[in-house]
């Protein structure tokens, strides 16, 4: 199996698995290396130290570098959305969505919610005799995405309308 695939698997498990304090760097999922380093510095295999990290030990980031990193992040997110729209495999779609969620980009599927033209794009309507369904989203045709609280792409939905 390719090493890049194993690394992705380890990162997915990083949030839920406990790390062996005696593990080597190759055996520790990437997301847990800082926590393991904190434990080693404290001389314990248990919980990370409760003290605040030394502010002087954290290197300062120049505003231009931060701006470039944010621009690069946006470009990568847009590339992932482009690939997601063209993916033919459910597994690939799930993997991309999971990866995006890991960096704060979540899928927006408003099925059953009240239609809001500020957040949703109407792609069609379904007639109904049930007054309780009038104005609710019947189905999400194209999944939308939000980067934390900022809407990147509005979902295209089908809305129930009363006959």
Structural domain including 68 reads: 60-103
* Pairing state between β 156-162 and 121-128: parallel
Of the pLDDT bands very low, low, confident and very high (cuts 50, 70, 90), residue 61 is confident
Into how many domains does the chain fold?
A: 3
Residue 29 has pLDDT above 90, yes or no: no
Q: Which of these three, 32, 51, 70, is where a domain ends?
A: 51
Predicted confidence (pLDDT) at residue 76 exceeds the cutoff of 90: yes
Q: What is the pLDDT of residue 9?
A: 43
Kindly state whether residues 111 and 99 are assigned to the same domain: no
Kindly report the number of other CB atoms within 10 A of residue 155's CB atom.
22
Same domain, 19 and 31: yes
Scan for tokens 């993997």, then name that residue.
95
**Are 157 and 140 contacting, i.e. CB atoms less than 8 angstroms apart?**
yes
Say if residues 48 and 33 touch (Cβ distance below 8 Å). Answer: no
Eight-state DSSP code of residue 135: T
Question: Per-residue DSSP letters for 9-27?
Answer: HHHHHHTTSPPPTT--GGG
Residue 60 has a pLDDT of: 83
Domain identity same for 25 and 73:
no
* Residue 110 pLDDT exceeds 90: yes
Same domain, 119 and 150: yes
pLDDT averaged over the chain? 79
Residue 4 to residue 7: CA distance in whole angstroms: 5
Q: Is the separation of the CB atoms in 137 and 110 below 8 Å?
A: yes
Backbone φ and ψ of 6, nearest 5°: -60, -40
Return the SS3 of 54.
Answer: coil
Q: Is the pLDDT of residue 13 over 90?
A: no
Query: pLDDT category, 52, cuts 50, 70, 90?
Result: low
Give the pLDDT confidence score for residue 19 in this predicted structure: 47
pTM: 0.61
pLDDT at 112 over 50: yes
């Amino acid at each position: 199996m390719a090493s890049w695939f194993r690394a992705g698997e380890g990162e997915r498990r990083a949030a839920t698995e406990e790390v062996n304090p005696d593990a080597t760097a190759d055996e520790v999922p990437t997301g847990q290396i800082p926590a393991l380093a904190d434990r080693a510095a404290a001389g314990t295999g248990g919980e990370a130290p409760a003290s605040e990290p030394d502010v002087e030990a954290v290197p300062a980031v120049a505003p231009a570098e931060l701006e470039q990193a944010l621009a690069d992040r946006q470009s990568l997110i847009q590339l992932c959305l482009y690939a997601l729209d063209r993916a033919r495999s459910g597994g690939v779609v799930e993997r991309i969505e999971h990866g995006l969620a890991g960096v704060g980009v979540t899928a927006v599927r408003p099925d059953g919610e009240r239609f809001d033209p500020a957040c949703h794009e109407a792609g069609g309507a379904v007639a109904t005799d049930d007054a309780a369904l009038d104005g609710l989203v019947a189905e999400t045709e194209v999944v939308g995405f939000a980067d934390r609280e900022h809407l990147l792409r509005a979902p295209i939905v089908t809305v129930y309308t009363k006959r």
